[in-house]
Each structure stands twice: as structure tokens, then as C-alpha cells.
Chain A
Amino acid sequence: GAVVSQHPSWVICKSGTSVKIECRSLDFQATTMFWYRQFPKQSLMLMATSNEGSKATYEQGVEKDKFLINHASLTLSTLTVTSAHPEDSSFYICSASESLSYNEQFFGPGTRLTVL
């Protein structure tokens, strides 16, 4: 149980284009989803927190107009990287939490974005 999927697992795009990454909780309802970014050989950095049906809360330094997050249902959140640039190339990881009172998170396998 508690499986989180991400799609696509990797994507290559041209500079200036937009890329959408999906995060789905397959067997539970995720009240909260988190988006992280991981640079090579570094730790995960939280980008934003999203609750179903409300606006995402972005961490300091994360551009909300560049990284659009939508949490339209209890099983799906999307991250759209708009007007991508090479410096946006990274490993993007989502996680989902199913309970307001218990804070265990379940992680997706990640999406590797390469912007040419």
C-alpha cells in the first residue's frame, strides 16, 4: 500500500518550453502533497506544499510563477515548469501524506528533467 507514482520518469525539453510533471497517490487519498528538488549528490530541498483544493505554499526563493502547482484532487498533483531553462534541470520528487494527524510521507520515484 501507500504507493506514489510520478509521470514522466524523465523528460528532455528545449529551453523556453513548459513541462508538466504528474504525481499520483495510487491507493490512498493524499490530503497534502509536497514537491522537492534534488541536485546531483545533494539533499532534497522542499519547493512547495500543496493541499487539495487550495493554493500551494511555496518555500522562500521558489518562484511561484515559474513552478506552477495544482492539487486538483485527493490523488493528483501537478508541477508545471514554465519557460524552462537549463538551470531548471534537476530531479523533481513528490511525496504525499494521507492524514492530517500523522506525518509520514510516501515518495514518488522522481522525474529527471533535462533542459537543453
Chain B
Amino acid sequence: GDSVTQMEGPVTLSEEAFLTINCTYTATGYPSLFWYVQYPGEGLQLLLKATKADDKGSNKGFEATYRKETTSFHLEKGSVQVSDSAVYFCALSERTGRRALTFGSGTRLQVQP
């Protein structure tokens, strides 16, 4: 079955540091890929997505590129802020069938001032 593996946290960075959160996947089909963010006490919000190989999703300074050859979708940000502190989930969804999301385990990011 489908699965998503992302790096374990917590990841602790100083403000303005560079962020990378690794995500790799296995899928039977050709999935769409997502990054969701969960701020403390809130529900999940879609951060960015990519639906085909070599697509780059971007939002709020975050980027991730759909790499089919390495089955990866790593999240990056050039300069993190304290307000980016949250839990980040990598996820995939098959294009057909029930289209439910398969989530990674989540990576907690803590940004210190």
C-alpha cells in the first residue's frame, strides 16, 4: 500500500535559518503530493501541493518539488520565522479511487528567536 516517510522531529532552528524537512513516498499509482501544516491548537491547513513530476509547489516562502525519480517531496524554506513553529505533515493522494490522504508521521518545527 501507499506510505509516506518523513524525518523525525523535533527540528529546532534559530530565526532566519534554512529549513529542510525530508519526505519520501511509496505509491502504487501516480499520486498528488501535499504538505500540510498544523499550528498549535488548530486544524490542518494545506501549505502547498504538486500534482505531477517536476512541479514545484510554493506558498509563504515554503517550496517543495515533486521528484518522481527519487520519490521525494522535500519541504524547504530559506529563512524561517518564529511564526513558522508548527507540525508539518507530508501526504499523498492517489488520483483515482477513494482519494483519501496518506499522511507521514509529522515533523514538529520549533523556531527560536
Contacts and interface: CB of A to CB of B under 8 A. Distances in A.
B100 A49 contact: yes
A34 interface: yes
A54 interface: no
A110 B36 CA distance: 15
Interface string A33-53: 010000001111110010000
Interface residues of B, number: 21
Interface of A is mostly: strand
Contacts of A49: 98, 100
Interface in B25-83: 32, 36, 42-46, 49
A105 B46 CA distance: 8
Interface of B: 32, 36, 42-46, 49, 89, 93, 95, 98-106, 108
Those 7 A-B pairs whose CB atoms lie nearest each other, nearest first: A109-B43, A103-B99, A107-B44, A43-B103, A43-B105, A103-B93, A49-B98
